């Protein structure tokens, strides 16, 4: 297998927790955008971004839904912010069996941020658009990545023959066959 350098557009939303004021406009906008039909309902429990709010400690952390994990993780770390301890689960982006966060409330199906379905007309995702204080920033950048080139069926067959018999033996056999043919 050979490696190839490919250019890829990487899209991400950067979060600046110091700017977040916990207004939850991002939750409302996300749930409205993903309602069916669009904007027919606004329910933060259907949002793919949730804001962890700790009013007493003035801590607001927007977390976007990531991958579904079918099993509880074994991580038991904790975070300390302004002297207060938070469990690892507080800022975890996954929907998992041990909590209801990032699950569609009616069906229980996992929710994942899809960057607003990658709609080209939507230059900036909804949550970023409505965040008036700039706590969320959308970024697109081009990156070069090394990717494995997948072999075709014939190449895979040849590769396994070469691995088994050695290149020279295969070449001799092909030359012999060509002469006969
Ligand atoms: S809209 Fe912005 S400021 Fe408001 S909760 Fe969301 S991230 Fe925080
Ligand atoms: S990018 Fe779109 S789907 Fe993802 S959290 Fe923001 S509003 Fe929701």
The answer to whether 3 touches 146, Cβ cutoff 8 Å, is: yes
Q: Is 128 exposed, middle or buried (0-12, 13-18, 19+ CB in 10 A)?
A: buried
Q: Whose CA is nearest to atom 2 of ligand 1?
A: 131
Atom of ligand 2 at shortest range from CA of 64: 5
Residue 145 DSSP SS3: strand
The answer to whether 50 touches 154, Cβ cutoff 8 Å, is: no
pLDDT in tens, 23-32: 999 999 999 9
Length of the chain: 181
pLDDT in tens, 137-171: 999 999 887 776 656 666 767 877 787 788 888 88
Coarse DSSP helix, strand, coil percentages of the chain, rounded to the nearest 5 percent: 30, 30, 45
Closest by CA to 103, choosing from 52, 48, 33, 53, is 48
Average pLDDT over residues 39-50: 96
Alpha-carbon span 62 to 21, nearest angstrom: 10
Cross-strand pairs, 61: 52
Q: Whose CA is nearest to atom 4 of ligand 1?
A: 23
The answer to whether 94 touches 69, Cβ cutoff 8 Å, is: yes
For residue 1, pLDDT beyond 60: no
Task: Compute, in angstroms, the gap from residue 8 CA to the centroid of ligand 1.
Answer: 29
The answer to whether 76 touches 86, Cβ cutoff 8 Å, is: no
pLDDT in tens, 46-99: 999 999 999 988 899 999 999 998 888 877 788 888 888 888 888 899 988 888
From 16, 24, 49, the mutation candidate for ligand 1 (largest count of ligand atoms within 8 A of CB) is 24
């Amino acid at each position: 297998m050979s490696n190839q350098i490919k250019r890829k557009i990487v899209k991400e939303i950067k979060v600046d927790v110091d700017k977040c004021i916990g207004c939850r406009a991002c939750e409302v906008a996300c749930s409205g955008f993903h309602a069916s039909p669009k904007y027919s309902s606004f329910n933060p429990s259907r949002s793919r971004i949730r804001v962890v709010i700790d009013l007493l400690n003035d801590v607001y952390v927007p977390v976007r839904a990531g991958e579904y994990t079918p099993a509880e993780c074994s991580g038991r770390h904790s975070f300390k912010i302004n002297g207060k301890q938070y469990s690892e689960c507080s800022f975890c982006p996954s929907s998992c069996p041990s909590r209801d966060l990032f699950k569609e409330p009616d069906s229980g199906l996992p929710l994942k941020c899809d960057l607003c379905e990658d709609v080209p007309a939507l230059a900036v995702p909804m949550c970023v658009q409505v965040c008036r204080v700039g706590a969320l920033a959308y970024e697109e950048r081009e990156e070069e990545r090394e990717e494995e080139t997948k072999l075709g069926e014939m190449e895979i067959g040849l590769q396994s023959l070469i691995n088994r018999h050695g290149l020279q033996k295969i070449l001799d056999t092909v030359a012999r066959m060509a002469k006969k043919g």
